[in-house]
């Protein structure tokens, strides 16, 4: 497997680890943001496994949907998870009116773990 794919999966795992630590410290918005990045890196790794090289967040999301969810290679619920996580990250990082509450951030961490597991399973890891 390409070294770049492995490095992206390592970044994904690291982001999840950081998200869990942030949750322990009650930094729920930051934790939710980190979960999105975990999913983003995992999605990039998946795309790179098929020689699809995209960097922009919108392009990763779109290509993931087109090449994997639409073709049923990966259940479309994971594409929705990625989209929802990006929206939540935008709220966490940019919205000064809304706070991410603990149950939402905890659910995102669970989804992030599941998302990464599905990607790794698809890649045979």
Q: Where are the domains of the chain?
A: 3-122
- Residue 76: the pLDDT is 97
- Residue 105: the pLDDT is 87
Q: What is the CATH number of domain 3-122?
A: 1.20.120.330
Average pLDDT over residues 40-67: 96
b/e 89-112 (16+ beta carbons within 10 angstroms → b): bebbeeeeeeebeeebbbebbebb
Average pLDDT over residues 21-44: 96
pTM of the model: 0.94
The answer to whether residue 97 scores a pLDDT higher than 90 is no
The answer to whether residue 1 scores a pLDDT higher than 70 is no
Q: CA dihedral defined by 59, 63, 69, 74, rounded to 10 degrees?
A: -100
- Residue 73: the pLDDT is 97
Average pLDDT over residues 5-32: 96
DSSP string, 7-62: HHHHHHHHHHHHHHHHHHTT-HHHHHHHHHHHHHHHHHHHHHHTT----SHHHHHH
Q: How many residues does the structure list for the chain?
A: 125
């Amino acid at each position: 497997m390409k070294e770049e794919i492995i490095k992206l999966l390592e970044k994904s795992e690291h982001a999840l680890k950081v998200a869990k630590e942030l949750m322990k410290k009650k930094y729920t918005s930051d934790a939710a943001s980190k979960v999105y990045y975990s999913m983003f890196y995992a999605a990039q790794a998946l795309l790179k496994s098929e020689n699809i090289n995209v960097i922009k967040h919108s392009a990763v999301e779109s290509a993931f949907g087109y090449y994997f969810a639409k073709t049923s290679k990966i259940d479309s619920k994971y594409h929705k998870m990625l989209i929802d996580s990006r929206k939540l990250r935008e709220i966490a990082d940019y919205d000064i009116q809304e706070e991410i509450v603990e149950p939402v951030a905890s659910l995102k961490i669970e989804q992030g773990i599941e998302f990464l597991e599905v990607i790794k399973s698809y890649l045979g890891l």
